Chain A
């Protein structure tokens, strides 16, 4: 079945560092890809998405590009802030009708001032 594999955490960086969180997927067909973020004490929020190959999703300084040839959707940010500390989940949607989400295990990111 479809699956998502994320870079294991936790990840700890200093403020203004460059961030990459790796995500690769296995899927039949052409799923949409997502990054969700879960801030401490809050629910899951959609961070960005891409619906087809070579699409780039971006939001709040974060970017990810849908790479079909490498089945990847790595999350990047050029300069992280303390407020970016959260758990990040990569996900794909499967099922023509259902569009249910398959999530990776999550990567906990901590940014130190």
Chain B
């Protein structure tokens, strides 16, 4: 158990719909990261938070993507107007002691 949970584990949606994912790290993790992993590839960085502040966003994060961490604990990642190319595993990770601990991920399928 890495102490990072994600919800839902699987999401199937139709193109054009909005989806929201949630990540819950244990309270001691002040840095939280989002990554995206497509089939057969390694995870790619999307964004990260230091407490509630979003400090960096990748160019992969288009205007349809938004992430929040309102109280510096859980975080949400929203995708608006989903496209088939958004189909991927979305991973959340929390940083502690020089290491990142990953959650199980949310697998998104856009039909």
Q: B-contacting residues of A (Cβ < 8 Å)?
A: 4, 32, 36, 42-46, 49, 51, 89, 91, 95, 97-106
Contacts and interface: CB of A to CB of B under 8 A. Distances in A.
A102 B103 CA distance: 17
Contact of B42 (A45, A91, A98): A91
Given A101-B43, A106-B42, A46 B101 contact: yes
Contacts, number: 56
Contacts of A97: 50, 55
Given A46-B99, A103-B43, 7 more contacts: A42-B104, A43-B102, A46-B101, A49-B99, A97-B55, A98-B48, A101-B93
Interface residues of B, number: 25
Contacts of A51: 98
Given A98-B55, A106-B40, A45 B102 contact: yes
Nearest to A106: B42
A102 B43 CA distance: 8
Interface in B28-47: 31, 33, 35, 40-45
A51 B99 CA distance: 11
